[in-house]
Amino acid sequence: MAKIIAVTNQKGGVGKTTTCVNLAASLAAMKRRVLLIDLDPQGNATTGSGLAKEELDTSVFDVLIGTHGVREVMKPCESSGYQVLPANGDLTGAEVVLLDLPSKETRLRASLYEVESEFDYVLLDCPPSLNMLTVNALAAAQGVLIPVQCEYYALEGLTALLQTIETISTALNPALSIEGIIRTMYDPRPSLTHDVSSQLVEYFGEKVFDTVIPRNIRLAEAPSYGLPVLQYEKQSRGAIAYLALAGEFVRKRAAVA
């Protein structure tokens, strides 16, 4: 059965999409079967995986409203060998449409039953808000990965996120737990980085991944070529860091199981 992991933080620009794409590619390089689901109308995980979001006939939106199954809509990331359930601007209207549908919070979860046995990991790239798409992700997931940029306001939004996780775990999904905190765009020079980093460790303990993702220009460049960094420049610090993260992620999961 697939482990379903929501990569979320309602703060934008913290590295959710970068983590999803590069963790998916790194896990695929480790021979794991991965499905990456883009839940952001911006479709950055879709384009970052080499798929043209304007040219999609169907997207995750069609899966959420129930006209198509996951298997009909998913497409391979050609460069890296994981599958993608793509998104584009159509998803902007999903919130409104979902409100009128039955089981609006658990539609993603229900749609995943048909493919759960085909994957080792399903990664959910969440939008930068705690909206109905994020609720669907948290209702479907067993684990939550939270990318955090070690900057001044980093901790502020986390309380709201933790409350949402708590609410959803009580109301909809008792299996939900925090899988880990990932320090992204890590610059070891400013002392603020260390302050925020040690606050994270103090609060979340072993849930904070030892692997940190450095700020690395190759990670920012790769999406414009529609490639995960591993395929763009495999010797880069970014590629090495995400491979290390994938290794730690798999080991952590094995330790829990």
**Residues at the contact surface with Mg ion, assessed by CB under 5 A:** 16-17, 44
Which H or E element spans position 160?
helix 158-171
Among 13, 66, 89, 93, binds ligand ADP (CB under 6 A): 13
Least distance in angstroms from the C-beta of 49 to ligand ADP: 13
- Tokens read off for 99: 């409100």
Among 5, 6, 8, 17, binds ligand ADP (CB under 6 A): 17
Q: Does 46 bind ligand ADP (CB under 6 A)?
A: no
Q: Does 44 bind ligand ADP (CB under 6 A)?
A: yes
- Which window, 67-75, 138-146, 190-198, 217-225, contacts ligand ADP (CB under 6 A)? 217-225
Identify the residue whose tokens are 């043209």.
Answer: 52
Rounded CA separation 193/152 (Å): 8
Q: Does 213 bind ligand ADP (CB under 6 A)?
A: yes
Q: Which is nearer to Mg ion, 52 or 171 (CB)?
A: 52
- Tokens read off for 15: 């590295």
Least distance in angstroms from the C-beta of 16 to Mg ion: 5
Rounded CA separation 228/32 (Å): 16
Distances from the Cα of 128 to the Cα of 3, 41, 134, angstroms: 22, 10, 9
Q: Does 18 bind ligand ADP (CB under 6 A)?
A: yes
Q: Does 128 bind ligand ADP (CB under 6 A)?
A: yes
Rounded CA separation 164/70 (Å): 26
Give the neighbor-by-neighbor strand order of the sheet with 83-85. Answer: 75-76, 83-85, 34-38, 121-125, 3-7, 143-149, 177-184
Least distance in angstroms from the C-beta of 77 to Mg ion: 16
Q: Does 215 bind ligand ADP (CB under 6 A)?
A: yes
**Residue 15 site contact among ligand ADP, Mg ion, none (CB < 5 to 8 Å, cut-off depends on kind):** ligand ADP
Q: Does 181 bind ligand ADP (CB under 6 A)?
A: no
**C-alpha closest to that of 104 among 72, 65, 62:** 65
Query: Which residues, 6 or more positions from 33, have their beta carbon under 8 angstroms from its beta carbon?
Result: 82, 118, 119, 120, 121
Least distance in angstroms from the C-beta of 213 to ligand ADP: 5
Chain positions contacting ligand ADP, by CB under 6 A: 12-18, 44, 128, 184-185, 213, 215-216, 219-220, 223, 238
